[in-house]
Amino acid sequence: MAATEAVPGTVDTCPQCLAPKAQKTIAVLGAGAMGSLFGALLSSAGNKVHLIGRNREHLDKIRKEGLLVEREGECRLYRNLQVSLPGDPLGPADLVLVLVKAGDTQGAVLENRGIFGKGTVVLTLQNGLGNMEDLAAFLPPSRILAGTTAQGARLAEPGRILHGGDGTTWIGRMEQSEDVLLRDTAALLEEAGIQTRTTGDVAALLWDKLLVNVGINGLTALTRRTNGQLLEHPDTADLLEHLVREGEAVARAKGITLLHPDPVAYAREVCRKTAHNRSSMLQDVERGRTTEIDRMNGAVVREGEILGIPTPANRTITQLVRGVMP
């Protein structure tokens, strides 16, 4: 099938259909739902995108037929994505987007050293804390960016993802400053239709997102409830508040100025806006996969211990989720 041949019910997307511009080479570490979505969008802007992942069935489908992205009844087929397994020989990328699970970062870097060149910019959009530090163990901190995204994506089946909706992606520098490198990366994402903003305080950004995850993910994984259902039951609603308040106390003790002054109200707002969403941690538990609990609630516990702040609710949730992990 030709690269631009129409598929019934879809919009076919290829770089030849776009106005010419400077092509960037982008490697996406972690070809799950979110990595696949970002890769597809970046490829549609004329960039050469390489998805690197372990799901052979998903990658084979993309290689043979392209990636199908569905949103609100519309389907788009992205044919120009390249795919590889970890460790496959690849050259340096202009940008490496890191979306492997928190905790897998260092292993992913070591397996794929070839994609990191002297001028490579590295952007992590992973959940939890510690990802920047993991990258900085191998890469120059001056080339590391970190951020959060409110994009929503879910893997429906190999080769097909559901795009749950657009949301702002925020990025900042590990060294807490704004400069040309940061602005150029934001512009690259914007050109791909990814609404992006920059910040000079990436720690506040990451903790703001962390407190939402701390309140929602572990609870949904243990109760098998959707995000919205957490607010419908008084016990889970109460636990959500306790989890977030403990995390807030730790953040403030670290001198972090949160972007949302009331993180509990913000977590509740996220629950309502994503009421039908099944959190990534819930999906991990259901599929018998390792979770990111140690980089979320577990991170709050560790930071609390350093500062002498008790975090009993987060400690209990962390232990319970570990107890149901493989």
Quickly list DSSP for 123-151: EE--SSSSHHHHHHTTS-GGGEEEEEE--
Of 21, 209, 254, 273, which is the active-site residue?
A: 209
| Contacts (Cβ under 8 Å, ≥6 apart) of 43 | 13, 15, 49, 78, 80, 81
Is 136 in contact with 144 (CB distance < 8 Å)? yes
Distance CA 280, CA 86 (A): 22
Is 163 in contact with 69 (CB distance < 8 Å)? yes
pLDDT for residue 174: 76
SS3 49: strand
pLDDT for residue 4: 26
Q: What is the mean pLDDT of the chain?
A: 91
Token pair for 167: 């949301």
For 266-272, what is the mean pLDDT? 95
For 121-140, what is the mean pLDDT? 95
pLDDT tens sequence across 13-44: 443 333 345 789 999 999 999 999 999 999 99
For 159-176, what is the mean pLDDT? 87
pLDDT tens sequence across 275-284: 888 898 998 9
Strand segments (E) across 189-249: 196-199
Indicate the pLDDT class of residue 239, thresholds 50, 70 and 90: very high
Is 248 in contact with 211 (CB distance < 8 Å)? yes
For 289-296, what is the mean pLDDT? 96
Look up 209 and say whether it is catalytic.
Answer: yes
Indicate the pLDDT class of residue 245, thresholds 50, 70 and 90: very high
For 215-234, what is the mean pLDDT? 97
pLDDT for residue 274: 86
Distance CA 103, CA 127 (A): 10
For the chain, residues classed under CATH 1.10.1040.10 are: 204-324
Nearest to 309 by CA among 254, 237, 239, 265: 254
pLDDT for residue 164: 81
Indicate the pLDDT class of residue 178, thresholds 50, 70 and 90: low
**What are the helix and strand counts (H, E) for the chain?**
12, 13
pLDDT for residue 11: 47
User: Domain spanning 204-324 has what CATH number?
Assistant: 1.10.1040.10
Is 83 in contact with 12 (CB distance < 8 Å)? no
For 196-201, what is the mean pLDDT? 93
User: Domain spanning 10-200 has what CATH number?
Assistant: 3.40.50.720
The DSSP secondary structure of 52-93, one letter per residue, reads E-S-HHHHHHHHHH-EEEEETTEEEEE---EEE-TT------
Q: What is the pTM of this model?
A: 0.89
Is 37 in contact with 153 (CB distance < 8 Å)? yes
For the chain, residues classed under CATH 3.40.50.720 are: 10-200
Indicate the pLDDT class of residue 177, thresholds 50, 70 and 90: low
Phi then psi dihedrals of residue 49, to 5 deg: -115, 135
- In a 13 Å sphere around the CA of 215, the CA atoms on its Cβ side amount to 30
Q: What percent of the chain has pLDDT over 70?
A: 92
Indicate the pLDDT class of residue 152, thresholds 50, 70 and 90: confident
- In a 13 Å sphere around the CA of 148, the CA atoms on its Cβ side amount to 19
pLDDT tens sequence across 43-72: 999 999 999 999 999 999 999 999 999 988
> Has residue 5 got a pLDDT over 50?
no
pLDDT for residue 8: 41
